[in-house]
């Protein structure tokens, strides 16, 4: 129950859309969304497949609580093999399309093969068809959204699409839904475009009518909403400042990476912070932030809607909605700002709009540009490669020029679309790539937050804060305060966060609820909605099972324990300023204990006993 029990399998090579029954036994072990869809992926796809080959599959999956009355129950994930990392990819998104897919009667959509010509999936409840996308191929996400709404004359249609960056082969292209929400990391949009699939347009009117115990479910949901309302982070901090509430906090504690992670603090952080988004501009007296916004079913509303000073940039011939769709969130603001040395909030917002409009990950883009800027400073990249543009740290002009080149992959934009790892390898300095397993770092320096270093190094999808957000404990004191500069106990902390996150991602709920909720708050909601007995302990075990399954896929893909590492800069070059001054990340002290707690061998392979305990083949 709570699952619809239905999968839509779309064979793009044959042009067919067929319904099949969900494997309920797998649902009992892997819950939904991230876990259940990854189970389908690992059973159906050879881990060694070329991520951009037709044999790779892409799965859009909802969780059992997606589309329900549960707070934040609007999430969906895209699961595939990543072209950026060669790892399993699972990219989570909010907005409204996840709930729409569920309300149309589907737990997941599996895309396989490759269409001969550009197509989009038009899905209205039980009716699914592949329609020509020739008129929107080569256009932006935002144009595609506008075109599809006009084509089908349905303002309630929910759309997810790829932009020109994905079509041009950017290895970290995103799938953008609802204009400015995104399955943003690991290149899931690149995989979608490689299949000649431009968009998914969904309308669902069936509703969610299969909750196991509706009365008990609503009681658990209401109890959970009260916990969110009583928590300062989820009721005040996030609605007011969004994730940007962290910019000044992380900078002050000496863990805000800057200038391609050469520094751990950024002098201009306050100029691009959540507080700065509220301040009136000198040019027109208006603030950067227009309002906050929430996804389907959300009682937190951390989303940002911003406007820019249109006189600051050339925005002629843009659609009416352009420049008032989405806004800076912490990771994007950091990558586009401190990591490139830019503290012009309008420049960051403009760049972020372009990332949304043409669908590419601002974290990977900003980090790749930062690496290019360091290479430019060394004289390795010159104005010859950049057609005269000087890629200097702190240059808003360089940021804007680079993001515009990225939208279509023209000129140096093609190099930027490779990602930091391949860009630095191309120019002979792989040591300047701030990545793990080929994916760029987010906005927390592991020298100042030791547990995040271990979380990055062991993440199954490459450097990622959302696979084990120990910042909650090490910075915010949630669920309990731990010292960010201490390594003791961090192995257990990282494992607990990773397992819990896998469970939350599989439920259909937003991870931000865990600033207030523990699995003890989530379990009653899952248990009342879903068949079977779901306790907090069972959710944690499901999360651990999911984590080990993802690890197995990566090992079969060719990764090893040697990939559980950090760039030498973070292991050898000490922080220059702040509370972490003189510190490097002590990964070597934490990793062996982590392997032991995971039940893995000394080289990072799950032992037979661990596999047996978790029911993994």
Tens of pLDDT, residue by residue over 255-292, are 999 999 999 999 999 999 999 999 998 888 999 999 99
The whole-number pLDDT of residue 283 equals 83
Domain range for 365: 239-252+258-433
Burial, 424: exposed, middle or buried (Cβ in 10 Å; 0-12, 13-18, 19+)?
Answer: buried
Q: At a CB cut-off of 8 Å and minimum separation 6, what does 236 contact?
A: none
Indicate if the pLDDT at residue 452 is higher than 70: yes
Q: Are residues 329 and 356 in the same domain?
A: yes
Report whether the peptide linkage leading into residue 479 is cis, meaning its omega lies within 30 degrees of zero: yes
Give the helix/strand (H/E) hosting 479.
Answer: none
Residue 308 to residue 435: CA distance in whole angstroms = 31
Indicate if the pLDDT at residue 139 is higher than 90: yes
Edge-to-edge order in the sheet of strand 108-112: 16-21, 6-11, 108-112, 58-62, 76-81, 88-93
504-529 b/e (C-beta count within 10 Å ≥ 16 → b): bbbbbbbbbbbbbbebebbbbbbbbb
State the average pLDDT over residues 80-101.
98
Give the pLDDT band of residue 386 (cuts 50, 70, 90). Answer: very high
- In angstroms, the first-to-last Cα distance of the chain is 26
SS3 content of the chain, % helix, strand, coil (to 5): 40, 15, 45
Contact 571, 60 (CB under 8 A): no
Q: Are residues 48 and 87 in the same domain?
A: yes
* Domain-embedded: residue 225: no
Contact 301, 329 (CB under 8 A): no
Q: 281 or 332: which carries more pLDDT confidence?
A: 332
Last residue of one domain, picked from the residues 411, 433, 455 = 433
Indicate if the pLDDT at residue 511 is higher than 80: yes
Q: Are residues 599 and 482 in the same domain?
A: yes
Cite the beta strand spans of 270-389 per DSSP E.
Answer: 289-293, 303-306
Tokens of 260: 């391609």
Residue 121 has phi, psi (to 5 degrees) of -90, 125
The whole-number pLDDT of residue 309 equals 80
Indicate if the pLDDT at residue 19 is higher than 90: yes
Residue 397 has phi, psi (to 5 degrees) of -60, -40
Q: Are residues 491 and 403 in the same domain?
A: no
Q: Are residues 412 and 507 in the same domain?
A: no
What are the helix (H) ranges across 508-566? 519-529, 536-557
Closest to 300 (Cα-Cα) out of 568, 26, 74: 74
Residue 200 to residue 197: CA distance in whole angstroms = 8
Q: How many domains does the chain have?
A: 3
pLDDT in tens, 348-366: 999 999 999 999 999 999 9
Last residue of one domain, picked from the residues 398, 433, 468 = 433
Q: Are residues 361 and 509 in the same domain?
A: no
State the average pLDDT over residues 371-384.
98
Q: Are residues 406 and 463 in the same domain?
A: no
Residue 19 to residue 541: CA distance in whole angstroms = 30
* Domain-embedded: residue 43: yes
pLDDT, the chain, mean: 96
Helix (H, G, I), strand (E, B) or coil at 500: helix
Report strand pairing: 303-306 vs 289-293.
antiparallel
CATH code of the domain containing 312: 1.10.569.10
Give the pLDDT band of residue 75 (cuts 50, 70, 90). Answer: very high
Q: Are residues 106 and 39 in the same domain?
A: yes
Q: Are residues 195 and 274 in the same domain?
A: no
* Domain-embedded: residue 212: no
Q: Are residues 183 and 245 in the same domain?
A: no
Following DSSP, what letter does each residue of 401-469 receive, concatenated?
HHHHHHHHT-THHHHHTT-HHHHHHHTT-GGG--EETTEE--S--TTTSHHHHHHHHH-BTBS-STT--
Tokens 């819950």, located at residue: 31
The whole-number pLDDT of residue 222 equals 98
Indicate if the pLDDT at residue 226 is higher than 90: yes
**Cα 70 to Cα 159, 216, 296, distances in angstroms:** 23, 12, 10
The whole-number pLDDT of residue 581 equals 98
Residue 233 to residue 599: CA distance in whole angstroms = 34
* Domain-embedded: residue 228: no
Q: What are 227-233's contacts with CB under 8 Å, separation 24+? A: 227/516, 227/517, 227/521, 228/71, 228/299, 228/300, 228/513, 228/516, 228/517, 229/299, 230/516, 231/515, 231/516, 233/476, 233/478, 233/515, 233/516
Determine what percent of the chain is predicted with pLDDT higher than 70: 98
* Domain-embedded: residue 219: no
Cite the beta strand spans of 492-606 per DSSP E.
Answer: none
CATH code of the domain containing 11: 3.60.9.10
Cite the beta strand spans of 22-118 per DSSP E.
Answer: 58-62, 76-81, 88-93, 108-112
* Domain-embedded: residue 165: yes
Count, residues in the chain: 617
The whole-number pLDDT of residue 312 equals 73
State the average pLDDT over residues 156-184.
97
Give the pLDDT band of residue 316 (cuts 50, 70, 90). Answer: low
* Domain-embedded: residue 231: no
Give the pLDDT band of residue 25 (cuts 50, 70, 90). Answer: very high
- How many C-beta atoms surround the C-beta of residue 328 within 10 A? 30
Q: Are residues 429 and 487 in the same domain?
A: no
Last residue of one domain, picked from the residues 433, 461, 481 = 433
Residue 322 to residue 300: CA distance in whole angstroms = 25
The whole-number pLDDT of residue 310 equals 73
Q: Are residues 354 and 473 in the same domain?
A: no
Helix (H, G, I), strand (E, B) or coil at 208: coil
Indicate if the pLDDT at residue 387 is higher than 90: yes
CATH code of the domain containing 501: 1.10.599.10
State the average pLDDT over residues 462-486.
97
pLDDT in tens, 36-68: 999 999 999 999 999 999 999 999 999 999 999
For residue 407, the Cα-to-chain-centroid distance in whole angstroms is 19
DSSP 360: B
Indicate if the pLDDT at residue 78 is higher than 80: yes
* Domain-embedded: residue 214: no
State the average pLDDT over residues 572-590.
98
**Cα 395 to Cα 271, 366, 367, 402, 520, distances in angstroms:** 15, 13, 15, 11, 48
């Amino acid at each position: 129950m709570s699952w619809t029990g239905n999968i839509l399998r779309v064979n793009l090579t044959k042009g067919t859309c067929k319904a099949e029954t969900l494997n309920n036994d797998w649902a009992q072990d892997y819950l939904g969304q991230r876990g259940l869809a990854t189970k389908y992926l690992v059973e159906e796809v050879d881990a060694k497949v070329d991520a951009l080959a037709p044999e790779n599959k892409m799965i859009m999956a909802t969780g059992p609580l997606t589309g329900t009355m549960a707070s934040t129950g609007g999430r969906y994930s895209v699961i595939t093999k990543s072209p950026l990392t060669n790892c399993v990819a699972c990219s989570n998104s909010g907005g409204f399309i996840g709930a729409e897919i569920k309300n149309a009667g589907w737990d997941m959509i599996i895309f396989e093969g490759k269409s001969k010509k550009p197509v989009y999936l038009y899905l209205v409840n039980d009716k699914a068809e592949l329609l020509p996308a020739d008129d929107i191929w080569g256009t932006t996400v935002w144009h595609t959204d506008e075109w599809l709404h006009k084509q089908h004359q349905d303002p309630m249609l929910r759309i997810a699409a790829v932009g020109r960056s994905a079509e041009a082969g950017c290895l970290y292209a995103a799938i953008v839904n609802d204009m400015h929400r995104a399955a943003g990391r690991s290149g899931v949009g690149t995989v979608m475009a490689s299949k000649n699939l431009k968009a998914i347009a969904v309308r669902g009117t069936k509703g969610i009518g299969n909750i196991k115990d509706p009365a008990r479910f609503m009681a658990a949901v209401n109890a959970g909403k009260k916990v969110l309302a009583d928590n300062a982070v989820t009721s005040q901090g996030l609605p007011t400042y969004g994730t940007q509430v962290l910019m000044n906090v992380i900078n002050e504690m000496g863990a805000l990476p800057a200038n391609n992670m050469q520094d751990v603090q950024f002098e201009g952080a306050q100029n691009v912070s959540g507080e700065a988004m509220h301040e009136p501009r000198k040019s027109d007296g208006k603030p950067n932030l227009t309002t906050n916004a929430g996804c389907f079913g959300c009682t937190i509303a951390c989303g940002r809607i911003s406007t820019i000073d249109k006189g600051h940039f050339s925005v002629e011939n843009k659609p009416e909605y352009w420049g008032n769709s989405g806004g800076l969130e912490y990771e994007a603001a950091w990558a586009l700002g401190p990591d490139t040395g830019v503290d012009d909030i309008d420049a960051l917002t403009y760049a972020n709009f372009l990332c949304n409009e043409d669908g590419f990950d601002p974290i990977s883009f900003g980090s790749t540009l930062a690496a290019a800027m360091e290479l430019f400073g060394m004289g390795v990249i010159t104005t010859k490669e950049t057609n005269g543009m000087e890629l200097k740290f702190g240059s808003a002009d360089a940021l804007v020029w680079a993001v515009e080149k990225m939208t279509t992959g023209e000129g140096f934009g093609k190099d930027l679309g490779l990602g930091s790892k391949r860009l630095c390898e191309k120019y002979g300095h792989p040591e300047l790539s701030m990545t793990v397993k080929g994916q760029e770092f987010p906005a927390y320096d592991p020298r100042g937050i030791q547990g995040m270093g271990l979380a990055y190094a062991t993440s199954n999808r490459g450097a990622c804060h959302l696979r084990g957000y120990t910042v909650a404990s090490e910075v915010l004191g949630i669920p309990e305060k731990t010292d960010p500069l201490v390594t003791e106990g961090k192995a257990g902390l990282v494992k607990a966060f990773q397992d819990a996150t896998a469970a939350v991602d599989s439920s259909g709920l937003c991870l931000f609820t865990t600033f207030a909720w523990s699995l003890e708050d989530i379990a009653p909601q899952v248990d009342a909605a879903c068949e079977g007995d779901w306790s907090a302990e069972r959710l944690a075990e499901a999360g651990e099972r999911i984590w080990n399954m993802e690890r197995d896929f990566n090992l079969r893909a060719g990764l090893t324990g040697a990939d559980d590492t950090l760039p030498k800069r973070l292991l050898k070059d000490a922080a220059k300023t702040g509370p972490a001054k003189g510190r490097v990340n002590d990964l070597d002290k934490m990793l062996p204990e982590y392997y032991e707690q995971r039940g893995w061998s000394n080289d990072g392979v799950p032992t037979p006993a661990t596999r047996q305990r978790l029911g993994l083949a």
